[in-house]
């Protein structure tokens, strides 16, 4: 496994799409990943992967407005930056720790509740699925376009984890009423 860097990352932003337009919600980010919402929709979480931090904003679903940014957890303590993420029905974050070869379950206050070692390199994105949303599927990276490359025989595969005792939440589907079908 190798980590390749290609110079400094550009200034990234977190965007919102709706009403027929895209609006930058916040900027001065390096690489955004793992965008997800609390079960009640009132908190917007995202990972700034190259900064190694999971961040959050209060979110008003009716207006799309966000509150001030707050850092939830610095993933350097886990030996990795955060990658993809999802939220379970209890409001806990499930985050891929891509360089630590693990998935972490983190409480909304940033407390590590558990960490699960992955049998594949570079876990990238967890998502709950299955009929009861009680299976955690985790994708992995074989080649991220040159930044992360693995020659492991199972690189790029998906792992299904059962028996966690938690369920996910149904993801909303995007629908913009300003677009004609």
Annotated catalytic residues are: 83
Of 62, 4, 57, 3, nearest to 32 (Cα)?
57
């Amino acid at each position: 496994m190798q980590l390749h860097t290609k110079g400094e990352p550009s200034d990234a932003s977190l965007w919102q799409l709706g009403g027929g337009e895209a609006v930058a919600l916040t900027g001065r980010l390096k690489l955004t990943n793992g965008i997800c919402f609390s079960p009640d929709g009132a908190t917007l979480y995202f990972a700034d992967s190259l900064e190694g931090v999971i961040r959050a904003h209060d979110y008003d679903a009716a207006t799309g407005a966000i509150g001030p940014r707050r850092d939830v957890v610095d993933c350097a303590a886990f030996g990795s930056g955060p990658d993809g993420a999802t939220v379970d029905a209890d409001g806990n974050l499930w985050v891929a720790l891509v360089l630590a070869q693990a998935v972490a379950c983190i409480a909304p206050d940033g407390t590590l509740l558990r960490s699960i070692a992955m049998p594949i390199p570079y876990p990238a994105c967890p998502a709950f699925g299955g009929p009861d949303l009680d299976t955690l599927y985790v994708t992995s990276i074989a080649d991220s376009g040159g930044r992360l490359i693995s020659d492991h025989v199972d690189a790029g595969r998906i792992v299904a984890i059962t028996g966690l005792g938690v369920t996910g939440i149904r993801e909303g589907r995007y629908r913009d009423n300003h677009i004609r079908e």
